[in-house]
């Protein structure tokens, strides 16, 4: 018994290891932010968010993307490109990292970011043909290789690679030159942005090969040019040559895995145990806490949690477009039907947690053990297949945003139903935040993450996933940039994450439910006040009723009791969106305030972005950067953080 579970665990681990098909090279080499402050926040932030979304979508199927969003001086021009030797999944990972780091340039007008695996640039003008400029620089290693041979070989390799890059449409060159005498090689890679003309690509690479030689005799060098990137190193950083075509790749992957399974089965058990122990020790090393072998083996063999990849492929009819339900922060969601008729929602994650497979599995185990009537149930995962996939219960009524932001469908949710949904969501969050075993911060509370079951009860989706990505910034970035309108200022500006960030998002959600208006309307060009500041103004004047969703009281004769409740919800919403996290109530306080009639509600302090006309931009920036810990002082601050908010 013991032995067989060990065996299965070993195979599972081998599969997990075998998924690794390259290195996303997500280390950031340099970020350059422009000097100029951007023109107009009202347009800049929504344009930025939208541009990032579009690039994100394009990068799922391509290694490069150019996007233009907006008009006039507020246009966002974005170029993103992964280097050609990254797999599509690693490309997503690398791009995700750029997206996490790039907002540090805010509120600058633009900037560029160089990673070892990809590049992104944003400006308010079309820069696509630029190939050299004042930011261009080299970044050298810190270990010398004095030998003349190494230097000669490097120069040779650089020349070869430039010729290589200029001879193909992808503008990509890679190469290795053996340093004689000795067994060492030097490895070089070069790539131009795809928007350049061949002539400009040549000029860029010629400049790069000149300047990169200044890194010699260092063992490592990188040229960061406006239009291209070049790197040499005495260690092999290149990925194995990629097969193009995603599905072919996947088929190949499956084939490799199958062949591994069969060869593994004929291998001696002993060898596997050795490998297993090695891997296990490695994981032990990687984890902060200790981990129990038997427990891990048990988790891995627990058949009820693990879905076979083939089962899921079949359930979704091979990821058929018609089964696509939507796109979330971490992946694309499909509807599936299991052979026993059970309906499931399948989330195909953008990232493959290949390096942290055991942690990930453990996480899935924890999340799937979280059970509450207001939380979408995680049924399991396909953790050993070629992709990371999560399987959830399927809810046919879709998400709250499809109701409240829709004039027609909104009528299906009267005040009573909405209040029920609010209470349900609150209870779900209380459970996540305050259950003692595993406190979970959701990080991405928003209307589209509140699903409705057949009886229109709220179920929070997508919780917990972020937990396992906590240490690994690249994994959470899609969630970060994706829903700017819901993000607490301290989280947005400093990545400070506590339960109070969820409380903030929840507060935004409350206001949306009552008004039927979206806080983050990133795709309109007209000037609109943010929902929070609009609500705050009405609240101060005592005219909140004016912004109630007309659908709320359709079927109830004007009823002061319901109106009183709705006003209370707005009040709580404003308490939740206060600038200082310490002033925001906890979720269990929120529940008390909502459920009890006689609960005293303090008057809310200003939300984060009022009185912006009296503010100077620099102060705001300074405050954002330096004052985040002084929560006590910011409770009286009426300072504007409007710069961060799409309106």
Ligand X SMILES: *[C@@H]1O[C@H](CO)[C@@H](O)[C@H](O)[C@H]1NC(C)=O
Fill in the DSSP letter of residue 347.
Answer: E
Q: Name which position in 1, 35, 167, 183 contacts ligand X (CB under 6 A).
A: 183
Is the CB of 138 or the CB of 269 nearer to ligand X? 138
347 is in an annotated binding site: yes
Measured between alpha carbons, how far is 164 from 40 in angstroms, rounded to an integer?
43
Nearer to ligand X by C-beta: 65 or 379? 65
Looking at the annotation, which residues are catalytic?
444
> Which range, of 58-66, 241-249, 297-305, 631-639, touches ligand X by CB under 6 A?
58-66
Per the CB < 8 A criterion, the answer to whether 171 and 196 are in contact is yes
Cross-strand partners of 389: 348, 382
Can you tell me the distance from the alpha carbon of 301 to that of 290, in angstroms, rounded to the nearest whole number?
20
Nearest CA-CA partner of 572 in 533, 518, 514: 514
For residue 526, what are the CA distances in angstroms to 43, 44, 497, 517, 611? 9, 12, 32, 15, 20
Residue of the chain from 5, 33, 39, 243 that contacts ligand X (CB under 6 A)? 39
At closest approach, how far in Å is the CB of 204 from ligand X? Answer: 9
Asked if 612 interacts with ligand X (CB under 6 A), we say no
Establish if 65 lies at the interface with ligand X (CB under 6 A). Answer: yes
Residue in 8, 148, 258, 271 binding ligand X, rule: CB under 6 A: 148
Of the candidates 458, 440, 463, the residue with the CA atom closest to the CA atom of residue 328? 463
Say whether residue 194 binds ligand X (CB under 6 A).
yes
75 vs 39: CA distance, rounded Å: 10
Could you tell me the smallest distance in angstroms from the CB atom of residue 123 to ligand X? 8
What values do phi and psi take at 347, rounded to 5? -105, 120
The span from the CA of 430 to the CA of 424, in Å, is: 10
- Exactly one of 17, 58, 412, 453 binds ligand X (CB under 6 A); that residue is 58
Instruction: Examine residue 621 and tell whether it contacts ligand X (CB under 6 A).
Output: no
Using the rule CB under 6 A, is 246 a contact of ligand X? no
Smallest distance from ligand X to CB 531, Å: 27
| Residue 177 Cβ vs ligand X, minimum distance, rounded to whole Å | 12
Question: From the CB of residue 517, how many other CB atoms can be counted at a distance below 10 Å?
Answer: 17
Region of 31-39, 92-100, 341-349, 462-470 interacting with ligand X (CB under 6 A) = 31-39
- Should residue 211 be labelled a site residue for ligand X when binding is judged by CB under 6 A? yes
- CB of residue 84 to ligand X, shortest distance in Å: 11
Q: Does 66 bind ligand X (CB under 6 A)?
A: yes
State the DSSP string of 429-485.
HHHHHH-SS-----S---GGGEEE-TT--EEE-S-SHHHHTTT-GGGTHHHHHHTGG
On whether the CB atoms of residues 536 and 474 are closer than 8 A, the answer is: no
Q: Which is nearer to ligand X, 5 or 137 (CB)?
A: 137
Contact status: 247 vs ligand X (CB under 6 A): no
Nearer to ligand X, 13 or 102 (CB): 102
Q: What does the alpha-carbon distance between residue 427 and residue 418 come to, in Å, rounded to a whole number?
A: 14
* 210 sits near ligand X (criterion: CB under 6 A): yes
Strand boundaries in 499-582, DSSP class E: none
Is 38 a residue that touches ligand X (CB under 6 A)? Answer: yes
Q: Verify binding: residue 207, ligand X, rule CB under 6 A.
A: yes
Measured distance CA(200)–CA(192) in Å, rounded: 9
Report in angstroms how near the CB of residue 520 gets to ligand X at its nearest.
23
Find the part of the chain contacting ligand X (CB under 6 A) among 61-69, 256-264, 419-427, 515-523: 61-69
Q: Are 132 and 225 in contact (CB under 8 A)?
A: yes
Span interacting with ligand X, options 148-156, 395-403, 544-552, 595-603, rule CB under 6 A: 148-156
Question: Smallest distance from the beta carbon of 126 to ligand X, in angstroms?
Answer: 8
Residues near 387 by beta carbon (within 8 Å), at least 6 away in sequence: 250, 309, 348, 349, 352
Among 5, 50, 60, 132, binds ligand X (CB under 6 A): 132
Question: Which residues participate in the annotated binding site for ATP?
Answer: 347
Contact residues toward ligand X (CB under 6 A) are 36, 38-39, 58, 62, 64-66, 73, 109, 124-125, 132-133, 136, 142, 148-149, 152, 182-183, 194, 207, 210-211
Question: Which residues participate in the annotated binding site?
Answer: 347
């Amino acid at each position: 018994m013991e032995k067989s579970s060990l065996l299965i665990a070993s195979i599972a681990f081998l599969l997990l290891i075998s998924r690794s098909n390259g290195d996303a090279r997500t280390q950031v080499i340099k970020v350059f932010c422009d000097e100029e402050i951007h023109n107009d926040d009202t347009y800049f932030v929504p344009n930025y968010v939208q541009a990032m979304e579009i690039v994100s979508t394009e990068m799922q199927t391509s290694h490069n993307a150019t996007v233009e969003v907006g008009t006039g001086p507020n246009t966002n021009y974005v170029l993103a490109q992964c280097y050609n030797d990254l797999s599509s999944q690693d490309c997503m990972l690398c791009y995700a990292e750029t997206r996490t780091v790039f907002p540090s340039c805010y509120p600058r007008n633009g900037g560029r970011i160089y990673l070892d695996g990809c590049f992104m640039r944003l400006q308010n003008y079309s820069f696509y043909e630029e190939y050299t400029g004042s930011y261009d620089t080299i970044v050298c290693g810190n270990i010398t290789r004095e030998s003349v041979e190494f230097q000669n070989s490097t120069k040779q390799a650089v020349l070869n690679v430039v010729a290589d890059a200029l001879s193909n449409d992808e503008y990509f060159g890679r190469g290795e030159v053996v340093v004689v005498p000795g067994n060492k090689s030097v490895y070089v890679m070069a790539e131009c942005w795809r928007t350049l003309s061949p002539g400009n690509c040549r000029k860029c690479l010629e400049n790069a090969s000149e300047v990169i030689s200044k890194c010699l005799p260092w063992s490592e060098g990188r040229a960061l040019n406006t239009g291209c990137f070049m790197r040499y190193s005495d260690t092999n950083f290149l990925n194995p040559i990629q097969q193009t075509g995603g599905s072919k790749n996947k088929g190949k992957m499956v084939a490799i895995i199958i062949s591994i399974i069969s060869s593994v089965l004929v291998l001696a058990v002993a060898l596997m145990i050795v490998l297993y122990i090695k891997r296990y020790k490695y994981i032990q090393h990687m984890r902060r806490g200790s981990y129990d072998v038997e427990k891990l083996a048990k988790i891995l063999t627990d058949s009820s949690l693990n879905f076979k990849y083939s089962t899921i492929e079949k359930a979704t009819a091979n990821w058929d477009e018609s089964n696509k339900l939507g796109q979330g922060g971490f992946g694309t969601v499909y509807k599936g039907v299991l052979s026993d008729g059970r309906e499931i929602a399948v989330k195909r994650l953008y990232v493959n947690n290949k390096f942290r497979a055991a942690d990930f599995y453990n996480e899935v185990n924890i999340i799937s053990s979280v059970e509450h009537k207001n939380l979408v149930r995680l049924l399991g995962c396909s953790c050993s297949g070629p992709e990371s996939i999560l399987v959830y219960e399927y809810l046919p009524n879709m998400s709250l945003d499809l109701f409240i932001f829709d004039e027609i469908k909104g009528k299906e949710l009267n005040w009573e139903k909405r209040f029920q949904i609010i209470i349900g969501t609150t209870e779900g969050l209380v459970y996540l935040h305050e259950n003692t075993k595993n406190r979970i911060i959701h990080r991405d509370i928003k209307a589209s993450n509140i699903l409705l079951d057949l009886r229109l009860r709220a179920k929070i989706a997508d919780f917990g996933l972020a937990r396992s990505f906590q240490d690994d910034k690249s994994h959470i970035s899609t969630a970060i940039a994706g829903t700017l309108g819901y993000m607490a200022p301290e989280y947005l500006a400093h990545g400070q994450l506590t339960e109070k960030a969820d409380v903030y998002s929840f507060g935004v959600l409350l206001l949306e439910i009552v008004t039927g208006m979206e806080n983050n309307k990133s795709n309109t060009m007209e000037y609109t006040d943010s929902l929070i500041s609009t609500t705050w103004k009405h609240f101060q004047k005592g005219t909140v009723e004016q912004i109630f969703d007309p659908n709320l009281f359709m079927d109830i004769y004007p009823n002061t009791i319901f109106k009183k409740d709705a006003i209370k919800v707005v009040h709580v919403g404003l308490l939740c969106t206060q600038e200082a996290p310490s002033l925001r109530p906890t979720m269990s306080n929120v529940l008390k305030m909502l459920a009890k009639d006689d609960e005293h509600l303090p008057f809310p302090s200003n939300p984060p972005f009022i009185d912006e006309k009296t503010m100077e931009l620099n102060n705001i920036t300074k405050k954002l950067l330096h004052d985040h810990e002084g929560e006590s002082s910011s409770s009286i601050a009426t300072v504007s953080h409007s710069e961060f908010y799409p309106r």
